[in-house]
C-alpha cells in the first residue's frame, strides 16, 4: 500500500529476537545476557502478522535480530512465510557464524537471499570487533551461499581507526566473487554513539579515494548506490543514511520481536500489534494505520542522537 507521502511500502523487516551470539562493539551492549532464548512472538503470531501485512501489499520479508539464527525454529518461520500468498522474497541478515551449517536447510525452506555482516577480513580484528566470533565460520558460510547460488550481500560498517585500512581489500572481493559488498555509514544509535563523532566515514570519502569504481546507474532496493570495478563479477554498494539520506525511497516498516511495528528506524513513533493478534480485521486495520502514517524522513543530520526508544539490536537494523 501507499503511505501518505506516496511511497509504496512493500517490505517488512522482522526482528525475531534481541539475542545475539556476538557482541560487536558498535551494536550490542557488553552486559547483555548471552543466553539463548525463545522468540517473544510465537511463530504463529509472526505468521499471522505477515499474512495481514501481505494483504496490504507487503511482498518482501527480511528476518533479522539480534541474530536470527539463534532462534530454534527459524526454519519453520521461513517455511511458513514462504507459503503466504503475495510474499515473493524472503531473506535474512546474519553475522554468518551459524549460517554454514544451516544455509542448505534454510534455502530448502524458502530462503531467497542472505546478507552477512562482515566488518573485517582479519582474524584477530574480527575477534576484537565481535568478541566471540570466528572469521573462518563466516568465510565458510559465504562460500556455501555462493555454491547454492543464493543472492549474497556483505554489509560492512566502517569505523575510522578500526577497519578503514581494509576498504580496498573489501572492495577487491568483488573482483572474483559474484556478491555485493555494501558499506554502511555508522549511525549514532546505541553503542554506535561511542564511535560516531570521530569514527564516521562517509560514502563520499570512500568514493573520492577509489576512483577506479564506476557507477552502474542503478540502486539496490532503492537505498544503496551501486558501483563496480572494471570487469568485476560483483558490485560495491554505498548506504548513506547520514550523508545522503534516502527517506524518499524508503519502502519498509519494521516489526520487533515483541510485536511492535516501527514505520521508521529512527522515530519514536511505533504501534503495539499484540492486542490485535486474535482479530485479523483489527490487525490489518492497525497495520494499515501505522504504514499510512510512516514519517516523511528521519532527522539524524539535524539531531544526531536517535529519537527512537530502542537500540539497534532491538529493532533489527
Closest CA to 26 of 241, 242, 153, 196: 196
Q: What is the pLDDT of residues 185-205, one digit of tens each?
A: 988 776 677 778 888 999 999
Closest CA to 24 of 168, 233, 191: 191
CA 134/CA 108 separation, integer angstroms: 26
pLDDT confidence bin for 300, thresholds 50/70/90:
low
Q: State what percent of residues in the chain have pLDDT above 90.
A: 74
The contacts of residue 133 (CB under 8 Å, 6+ apart) are 22, 95, 97, 126, 127
Residue 214 lies inside a defined structural domain of this protein: yes
Q: What is the pLDDT of residues 249-278, one digit of tens each?
A: 889 999 999 999 999 877 788 999 999 999
How many domains are contained in the chain?
A: 1
Residue 6 lies inside a defined structural domain of this protein: no
Residue 65 DSSP class: S
Residue 244 lies inside a defined structural domain of this protein: yes
Residue scoring higher pLDDT (121 or 242): 121
Residue 2 lies inside a defined structural domain of this protein: no
Residue 5 lies inside a defined structural domain of this protein: no
Q: What is the pLDDT of residues 22-54, one digit of tens each?
A: 999 888 666 555 454 445 899 999 999 999 999
Residue 4 lies inside a defined structural domain of this protein: no
The pTM assigned to this predicted structure is 0.90
Residue 230 lies inside a defined structural domain of this protein: yes
CATH number for the domain including 278?
A: 3.20.20.70
Residue 67 lies inside a defined structural domain of this protein: yes
pLDDT at residue 214 greater than cutoff 60: yes
pLDDT at residue 305 greater than cutoff 80: no
* CB neighbour burial string for 195-222, b if at least 16 within 10 angstroms, e if fewer: bbeebbbbbebbbeeeeebeeeeeebbe
* Structural domain harbouring 209: 11-315
pLDDT on residue 14: 97
**CB of 277 closer than 8 Å to CB of 259:** yes
CA 99/CA 86 separation, integer angstroms: 27
Amino acid at each position: 500500500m501507499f503511505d501518505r507521502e506516496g511511497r509504496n511500502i512493500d517490505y517488512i523487516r522482522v526482528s525475531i529476537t534481541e539475542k545475539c551470539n556476538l557482541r560487536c562493539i558498535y551494536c550490542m551492549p557488553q552486559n547483555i545476557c548471552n543466553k539463548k532464548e525463545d522468540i517473544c512472538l510465537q511463530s504463529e503470531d509472526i505468521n499471522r502478522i505477515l499474512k495481514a501485512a501481505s494483504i496490504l501489499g507487503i511482498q518482501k520479508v527480511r528476518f533479522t535480530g539480534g541474530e536470527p539464527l539463534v532462534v530454534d525454529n527459524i526454519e519453520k518461520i521461513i517455511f511458513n512465510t514462504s507459503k503466504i500468498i503475495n510474499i515473493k522474497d524472503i531473506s535474512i541478515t546474519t553475522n554468518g557464524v551459524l549460517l554454514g551449517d544451516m544455509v542448505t536447510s534454510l534455502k530448502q525452506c524458502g530462503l531467497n537471499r542472505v546478507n552477512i555482516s562482515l566488518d573485517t577480513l582479519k582474524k584477530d580484528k574480527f575477534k576484537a570487533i565481535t568478541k566471540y566470533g570466528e572469521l573462518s565460520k563466516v568465510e565458510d558460510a559465504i562460500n556455501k551461499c555462493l555454491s547454492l547460488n543464493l543472492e549474497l550481500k556483505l554489509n560492512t560498517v566502517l569505523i575510522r581507526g578500526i577497519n578503514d585500512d581494509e576498504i580496498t581489500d573489501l572492495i577487491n572481493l568483488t573482483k572474483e566473487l559474484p556478491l555485493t559488498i555494501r558499506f554502511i555509514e555508522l549511525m549514532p544509535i546505541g553503542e554506535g554513539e561511542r564511535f560516531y563523532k570521530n569514527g564516521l566515514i562517509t560514502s563520499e570519502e570512500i568514493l573520492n579515494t577509489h576512483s577506479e569504481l564506476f557507477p552502474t546507474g542503478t540502486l539496490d532496493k532503492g537505498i544503496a548506490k551501486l558501483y563496480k570495478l572494471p570487469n568485476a563479477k560483483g558490485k560495491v554498494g554505498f548506504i548513506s543514511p547520514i550523508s545522503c539520506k534516502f527517506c524518499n525511497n524508503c519502502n519498509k516498516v519494521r516489526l520487533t520481536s515483541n510485536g511492535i511495528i516501527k514505520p521508521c528506524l529512527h522515530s519514536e513513533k511505533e504501534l503495539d500489534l499484540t492486542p490485535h493478534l486474535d482479530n485479523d480485521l483489527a490487525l490489518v486495520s492497525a497495520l494499515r494505520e501505522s504504514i499510512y502514517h510512516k514519517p516523511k524522513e528521519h532527522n539524524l543530520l539535524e539531531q544526531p542522537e536517535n529519537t527512537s526508544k530502542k537500540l539497534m539490536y532491538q529493532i533489527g537494523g
